[in-house]
Amino acid sequence: MKLRILLVGLMLGLFVSACSLTPAENNTESTEQNQAATSALPPILVEIKGDELAAQPPATMKVGEAFVFAGESAGWRIGTTTPELVQVSQGGDQETFTTNPGFIATAAGAAVVTATGPSGATITVNITIE
């Protein structure tokens, strides 16, 4: 009986001490994740119609921002002459969903990205990354 009371008291003490942690001690990682999530930039979406862009892409973008080719973008291949500035993604089937091709700005500078369509048409996007 004394052993049960001792174990219950010990468990209650551990529970109370865990609950008494301040948010800074208890949620440091969660707070950092929330700050990163709130500072995420929405992607730049530019639609492909036929063999060309439906609208002029922006001249600048920020490091960390994504650029997505939407619309009739299936089958387009993405390349770059500046891999030190952008990370390209070909898009396509991802088992349970399909993604569009695009790129993410990873460093500041003048980036050149080329999209080549199934027909052989080429679209070149010149963007200054800040």
119-128 in b/e form (b: 16+ CB < 10 A) is eeeebebebe
Q: How many domains does the chain have?
A: 2
Q: How many CB atoms lie within 10 A of CB 17?
A: 9
Regions in the chain scoring below 50 on pLDDT: 1-22, 36
Pair (21, 54) in one structural domain: no
| Cβ-based neighbours of 6, under 8 Å, separated by 6 or more | none
Find, among 67, 110, 109, 107, the residue nearest to 91 by Cα: 67
Q: What is the pLDDT of residue 27?
A: 52
CATH code of the domain covering residue 61: 2.60.40
Give the HSE-up count for residue 88: Cα atoms under 13 Å, Cβ half-sphere.
Answer: 19
Pair (61, 125) in one structural domain: yes
Q: What residues make up the domain containing 8? A: 2-37
